[in-house]
Amino acid sequence: MKKIIYILQKEFTQIFRNKTMLPMIFGVPIFQLVLLVHAATLEMKSIDMYVVDKDLSSMSHKLINKFKGSPFYNINGISFSIEDGLEAVEKNKTDMIIQIPYGFEHDLIRENRTEVQLLVDGINGTAASLINAYSYSVISDFNRNIIVDLTQMPAIADLEPIHVEKSFWYNPELNYKIYMLPGILVILVTLISMFLTAMNIVREKEIGTIEQLNVTPIRKYEFIIGKLVPFMIIALFELAFGLAIGKIFFHIPIVGSLALLFGFTIVYLLVVLGIGLFISTISSTQQQVMFIAFFFMLVFILMSGIFTPTESMPIWAQRVNIINPFYYFMRVIRMILLKGSGFWDISYEFFSLLIYGVIILSLAVWKYRKVA
């Protein structure tokens, strides 16, 4: 036990003496947390719209003003030619075109029906779907108002026999920051634990101190515990600090048990620390660590469900996701913080990561060579 304590003292001393590692551990994650929570969003808050109004009637002006009155739309071009609008889309100067044909008002009043064309830039499928949904909602509201004005009937909403009231659970205000902050925290905690663990051990190889440690009477398990525990403590501190920032600045709800969250995080860290240790055993330089860790991190993040539900992935991708530790923690941290889930609600993820941790740590320890 004394040997482990000495190794821990040595590791913390080495960490706090490293002027490069300290900003990476404490400064960069805080900056990323504050920045990414605002930047990483799927909300459409500024949609550039190009108007092709060939009717120039009072009705077409009302429809255009309906879009102007929405906080989501910016009209950045008006023309009589659809070719001008298409050119703006091709040059990435606008997100959508609304074309109001000649005879729009005449057909609406005389024929009780008319047409409007929406052309949406579909290069980003998610953004295009949201723009189409927003635009459909604006036009539907305009349509209801026109029916009331032309027929002198009461509002359609007053005629509905069933009154529907919407209630959104766990995030009543649909604040995207509340959804994103737990996911960003998962990434930051993983970066600190997995990446720095691998870098730290390989750095010992590069400067030659690993050979000195290998010929000491320190056992293999004592060396590995001494190497992994400091970064586990730092990662837990990062999680606590990130939750404090989220509560103070973003007002993220913490509905569930923090003790359960930190207990699950410890099991999760066993997995990512094991992955970091395994990467270090197959790498000789810090450059190799960076390339290998970047490969795994990129795949894990994109398949974790940070932006979209993993249930929308293809079946084969969902099956492959069983080896993705991000997937488990991304679900659990949101379940605990936002839903208040208990242990049995996350038991599948807990025991899956526990088995995963035992396997990856055993593999990493077996792969690590120590010559006493």
DSSP symbols for 164-193: -----SS-TT--HHHHHHHHHHHHHHHIII
CB 262 within 8 A of CB 238: no
| Confidence at residue 70, expressed as pLDDT on a 0 to 100 scale | 83
Query: Widest CA span of the chain, in angstroms?
Result: 95
Host H or E run for residue 285: none
For residues 53-63, b (16+ Cβ closer than 10 Å) or e, as one string?
bbbebebbeeb
Q: Strands, DSSP E only, in the chain?
A: 47-53, 73-79, 96-100, 117-120
CB 279 within 8 A of CB 271: no
CB 365 within 8 A of CB 219: no
Q: What is the architecture, at CATH level 2, of domain 47-159?
A: 3-Layer(aba) Sandwich (3.40)
**Distance, CA of 297 to CA of 193 (rounded, Å):** 12
Q: Quick one: tokens of 234? A: 């730092």
Q: How many helices (H) and strands (E) does the chain have?
A: 17, 4
**Distance, CA of 221 to CA of 212 (rounded, Å):** 16
| Confidence at residue 310, expressed as pLDDT on a 0 to 100 scale | 83
Q: Would you list the DSSP string of 43-92?
A: ----EEEEEEESS-SHHHHHHHHHHHTSTTEEEEEEES-HHHHHHHHHTT
State how far the alpha carbon of 357 is from the alpha carbons of 177, 302, 321, 323, in Å.
31, 21, 16, 11
Length of the chain: 372
| Confidence at residue 40, expressed as pLDDT on a 0 to 100 scale | 67
**Distance, CA of 315 to CA of 341 (rounded, Å):** 26
Residue type, 37: V
Provide the residue ranges of all domains of the chain, joining segments of one domain with +.
2-40+173-367, 47-159
CB 361 within 8 A of CB 274: yes
| Confidence at residue 348, expressed as pLDDT on a 0 to 100 scale | 94
| Confidence at residue 343, expressed as pLDDT on a 0 to 100 scale | 94
Residue 99 DSSP code: E
pLDDT tens for the chain, 372 residues: list them: 677 776 777 777 777 777 777 777 777 777 777 777 776 666 677 889 999 998 888 888 989 998 988 888 998 888 888 898 899 988 888 999 999 999 888 888 887 788 899 999 988 777 888 888 889 888 888 888 877 766 665 555 455 566 667 777 887 777 788 888 898 899 889 888 888 788 777 877 777 666 666 666 677 777 778 778 888 888 898 899 889 988 888 888 889 999 999 999 999 999 999 998 888 888 888 888 888 888 888 888 888 888 777 887 888 888 888 999 999 999 999 999 999 999 999 999 999 999 999 999 888 888 776 544
